[in-house]
Amino acid sequence: MRDLITTAEIWKEGGMYTSYCAELDMASCGHTPEEARKNLEEVITIQLEETAKLGTLDDLLRESGYSRHGDIIKTGKKIVCFEEITIPISVM
């Protein structure tokens, strides 16, 4: 068993929560933040299992910026913050 370390962005859209993994470009949703995260984990797990069956898992991970470190698979990127910013638009 290996562990993949990745990130999940979760935000509210209307009455639902969307979860997104930018590193793997995969998304899911749920009625709560916890459900959205759990569903994203399931989507990622299924994708990893299917690409492993096809023999393309290492290609997917490499193209997504991941590398293996023993039993840990992680990306070299490290999120340092999420921040809401305001950009003035004068052309509208």
Residue for token pair 């492993």: 52
pLDDT on residue 47: 96
Q: What percent of the chain has pLDDT over 90?
A: 73
CB 30 within 8 Å of CB 19: yes
Taking alpha carbons only, the member of 28, 21, 35 closest to residue 64 is 21
Q: Which domains does the chain show, CATH number per domain? A: 3-75 (3.30.160)
| Model confidence pLDDT, tens digit, residues 60-75 | 999 999 998 888 998 8
